[in-house]
Structure 1
Amino acid sequence: MKTKFPAVAMTAVSMVLTLAVVVMWLGGSMPWPIAVVVGLGIDGGWLATLAYERRLAAQGDHSAPVTVVGWFFGVIATGVLVTHAAGEESPGAWLAVAWLPLAAKALWLVHGLWERTALTPGALRSIQGIQQEARDEAAVARARLRAEAATEETRLTAVTAAGARVARVQARTAQTLSHAWATLESAREGEGTGRALTCVTARVTPDVTPTWELPVWGPTDPVPGPLALDSVPVLTDAELDRLVDAIRTSETPALSYREMATRFRAAGHSASEVRLRAAWKRIA
């Protein structure tokens, strides 16, 4: 309806203008009723082809000859208006409306395209529902990704802070041990240390001169620590899914995510929380 009313209005104006021009042309050379008949003949032919086109369009059909005849009548009406404008002293006003017949035909063409692509209200509501559902799913996915990223960031921050605290404790412990060993070293190297200790123990162990050797700060054997991250093989998605599925279904009923994750890491496997959760979602 939005495209039909403009097409109807422009068609009516074009027919009136065509009839008026034909009557003005032929009114001086023949009786005006005959001139009116000629004008109505042009308009009638145009209206008849237009009605036939609309009938075929309503049936979902199309006829190229009828369309050609309709455009032919539109060209005739436009030619009548242009010819009349050329013979006037001020042709501007008539030329300004000479395009109306062809414009009316173009509007009917647009209206036909509108009808062929129009959808029912139910279909439009279904499309809107599908689009809204897609937007909702995208919003939920974005929120889930942001939450997982925030969780991973919090975990990494906590791990980093814990590592920093451990490093500070180790530094303080090393400093304390260094001071202790320095004190022992200075006591061992002192000139009166041996005499003082011998004087104390002489009454307990007569005729025995003990050797007072205090512990010496020296090199130590390195203690093997946990494997570096670079030495841990990176699991592919397929391997990760297989491990997660095997751990999850190792008991009946199946393990929860927390239990699975605990056993996964206790077995010495390594994977980020995001990848582990993604594998859990794929197999569960």
Structure 2
Amino acid sequence: MKRKILTAGPAVAMTVVSMVLTLAVVVMWLGESMPRAVALVVGLGLDGGWLATLAYERRLAAQGDHSRPVTVVGWVFGLAATGVLVGHALTVDGSAGAWLAVAWLPLAAKALWLVHGLWERTALTPDALEEIRKIQQTARNEAAVARAQLRAEAGTEETRLEAVTAAGARVARAQSKAAERLSGAWSTLEATRQGDGTARALTCVTERVTPGVTGVTDTRWELPVWGPLEPVAALETAPTLTDTDLEWIVTNIIDTEGQKGRSVSYREVATLFRAAGHSAGETRLRAAWRRATGNATT
């Protein structure tokens, strides 16, 4: 309520000033041609009509309603008061400008009440304002958290890039040093190979390293080729033997050795099995030997 009074204060003050000014002008202007009591009644009637329409407008506004005829009547009273002030200013000698300067007050009062009505239609309750404040604060908090997270991620990424760059630089320096040492060793080896004393020494203690060369001075110690390696073809994987295949191979080994008059044990069967180029797990091979011999003991 206090806040509502504060917002309506300018309109109330302007209305009071314009009413007092209108009443004084009516009494001064009409008092010369009629009794002052009659002029006072005319001024009070003008102000009273204005107040009545204004009060009715405010009552409708409080109910959330609006009446165009009442609004038109209120503006008619405001224009009438302004007309009285303008007419009085035009008939006064010597101070017409001063009276014209205050002739706009009734219209200004009506305009202030119009603005106050618009403010009331868009005004929010304290609960709504508090809810809006909470929403805005939540949005600010989320934005601050998002900015902090982005800054942290940027710092982490920068640290990671610095670490990767430093590691790359260390690897490059190590490779450079290794290449330098390898180049020095290779140069030393090449210089040694080109020397006559090296060829003579190698010829004295080893076979000639260069086939087809008969002269000692022509014998050369060829360096190994430093270059790309030829890929070696992958070994073919032997197919996995089934239990039936294992049993058949073990039976065949036992029968073959039996024809020679030999009785073979499991260890001998396993040795002959692998010597034949077969492969199998120890557990599966032992189980095949048991099935082939009917021996259930380990």
TM-score, length basis structure 1 = 0.72
Q: CA deviation at 1:209?
A: 3.8
Q: Show the 5 A alignment for 1:244-255.
A: none
1:260-279 map, 5 Å: none
Aligned 8 A contact 2:89 2:99 in 1: yes
Task: Determine which of 62, 73, 76 is the counterpart of 2:80.
Answer: 76
Correspondence list, 1:28-177, <5 A? 28-89=32-93, 90-177=95-182
Please point out which of 24, 27, 43 is paired with 1:23: 27
Contact 2:199–2:221, Cα closer than 8 Å, also in 1: no
Q: Equivalent residue for 1:228?
A: none
Q: Distance in 2 between matches of 1:45 and 1:129?
A: 46
Once superposed, what is the RMSD of the aligned Cα atoms? 1.8
Shift of 1:222: 9.6
Cα distance change of structure 1 residues 210 and 73 upon mapping to structure 2, 3 Å threshold:
same
Please state how far the C-alpha of 1:146 moved relative to its aligned partner.
1.2
- Deviation per residue, 1:61-115 (Å, 9 max, x gap): 0000000000000000001001111111221221111000000000101111111
Q: How many residues align?
A: 216
Alignment deviations for residues 161-211 of structure 1 (CA, whole Å, 9 cap, x no partner): 111111111111111111111111111111111223444x3xxxxxx7442
When residues 18 and 167 of structure 1 are mapped into structure 2, their CA distance, relative to the original with a 3 A threshold, is: same
Partner of 1:263: none
Quote the residue 1:8 is aligned against. Answer: 12
Large movers: runs of 4+ above 6 Å:
none
In structure 1, give the amino acid aligned to 2:57.
Answer: E
Q: For residue 123 of structure 2, what is the amino acid of its counterpart?
A: A
Specify the alignment match of 1:185 in structure 2: 190
Unaligned runs of 5+ in 1: 202-207, 224-284
CA–CA separation in structure 2 for the residues paired with 1:177 and 1:4: 94
Distance 1:107 1:100 in 2: 10
Deviates more, 1:73-82 or 1:32-41: 32-41
Q: Helix, strand or coil: the match of 2:196?
A: coil
- Give the aligned partner of residue 276 of structure 1: none
Q: Distance in 1 between matches of 2:54 and 2:207?
A: 134
Larger Rg: 2
| Secondary structure, counterpart of 2:6 in structure 1 | coil
**What is the CA distance between 1:214 and its match in structure 2?**
4.8
Q: After superposition, what is the alpha-carbon deviation per residue over 1:107-158, rounded to whole angstroms, capped at 9, x for unaligned?
A: 1011111111111111111110100100110111111111111111111111
Task: Work out whether 1:220 is the aligned partner of 2:225.
Answer: no
Provide the C-alpha distance between the structure 2 equivalents of 1:64 and 1:27, rounded to a whole number of angstroms. Answer: 35
Contact 1:56–1:62 under 8 Å retained in 2:
yes
Equivalent-residue separation in structure 2 for 1:16 and 1:36 (angstroms): 11
The runs of 5 or more residues in structure 2 that have no matched partner are 210-219, 232-298
Which piece of structure 1 moves more, 135-144 or 214-223? 214-223
Amino acid at match of 2:227: P
| Other structure's SS at 1:71 match | helix
TM-score w.r.t. structure 2 length? 0.69
What letter is aligned with 1:36? L
Amino acid at match of 2:180: Q
Query: CA separation of 1:213/1:139 partners in 2, compared to 1, >3 Å: closer, same or farther?
Result: same
Amino acid at match of 2:104: W
Answer whether contact 2:82 2:104 (CA < 8 A) is retained.
yes
Aligned to 1:244: none
After alignment, is 59-68 or 22-31 more displaced? 22-31
